[in-house]
Amino acid sequence: MANDIVSTRRALFAGLGDDYDRWATVLSLGQDPRWRRAMVSHVAVEANQHVLDVACGTGMVSRALVARYGCRVTGVDQSVEMLQGARKRLSGTAADAAVTLVEGRAEALPFADASFDALTATYLLRYVDDVEATLRELVRVVVPGGPVGYLEFAVPPWPVRPLWDLYTGIGLPAAGRLIGPAWEDVGRFLRASIRSFGRRYPPAELAEAFRRAGLVDVTYRRMSVGGGVVVWGRRAG
C-alpha cells in the first residue's frame, strides 16, 4: 500500500514542474495562490528565523515566506522534477539566496529534532500512507512554540457541493485534457483523492489530528466556500 501511494505521487507530479504554478492557479479558478498566502500569514516568523516548507513543489510557498518575512527557508520535496521547477523560478530572484532545496520524504525528514523555527506543508497528507505518523514527523523538527501551517483541498458543504462535484467530475478532467497528458492525469485523480481524504479527515478532524501530533492553539479556516482548508497552530512547549 505504502509503495503504491509513493509511486502514484511520484508519477503524478513528474510532468508538472515546468508549468505547475500557472495551471494550478487556472484550474483552481484563481484560488490556489490565495490559499497559500493565507497559510503563510498564519506562520509568522522573524527575519533571522528558519522555516521548513514540506512538499514545497515549485517553491510557491517558499518564495512567499521569504517575500513576507525575509526569513530563511528550506524546501523539501520528493519529486526531482518539481524541485527542478523550483530552482528555475528561484534563479535570479531575491529569494534565491534565502531558499535551500532538498530532495526528501515528509515521512522521514532528514533533519534533527527541533531544527526549524516554523513549518509549512501544502497538499501533502492525501499522498502519505500514515497521516498520523507523518504529522508527528512534521512536528518533530519544529522548535517548541514554533508555528505550523497546513493547506489542503476540501469538499465544500451543501449547497455548494453539487457545483464542486460538477467541476471536479467533468470540468477539471476536461480542462486537464486540453492542457496536456500530465494535467489530464491530475484532473482524473484529484476528485477521488480529495473526497477520500475528506471522508477520513474533514476539517474539524484534521485539526484534531494536528492536536494529537503535538500542536496547541490549533485553528482551521475553510477557504473559498469550503474548497480549501488552512490549519495552523504551534508546537506544544
Taking 80 as the threshold, does the pLDDT of residue 13 lie above it?
A: no
Pairing of strands 228-235, 147-153: antiparallel
- Give the CB-side neighbour count of residue 221, counting CA atoms within 13 A: 14
> Cα separation of 22 and 10, whole Å?
20
The x, y and z cell numbers of residue 56, run together, are 514545497
**Predicted local distance difference test score (pLDDT) of residue 89:** 96
> Cα separation of 132 and 98, whole Å?
31
> Cα separation of 19 and 17, whole Å?
6
**Predicted local distance difference test score (pLDDT) of residue 16:** 78
Q: Which domains does the chain have, with CATH numbers?
A: 2-154+200-235 (3.40.50.150)
Taking 80 as the threshold, does the pLDDT of residue 5 lie above it?
A: no
Taking 70 as the threshold, does the pLDDT of residue 6 lie above it?
A: no
pLDDT (tens digit per residue) in 115-147: 999 999 999 999 999 999 999 999 999 999 999
**Predicted local distance difference test score (pLDDT) of residue 78:** 95
State how far Cα 105 lies from the chain centre: 13
pLDDT above 90 coverage of the chain, percent: 87
Collapsing DSSP to helix, strand or coil, 60 comes out as helix
Residue type, 205: E
**Predicted local distance difference test score (pLDDT) of residue 184:** 87
The x, y and z cell numbers of residue 201, run together, are 479527515
pLDDT (tens digit per residue) in 20-66: 999 999 999 999 999 999 999 999 999 999 999 999 999 999 999 99
Q: Which one has a higher pLDDT value, 9 or 176?
A: 176
> Cα separation of 75 and 57, whole Å?
8
Q: In the predicted model, what is the mean pLDDT of the chain?
A: 94
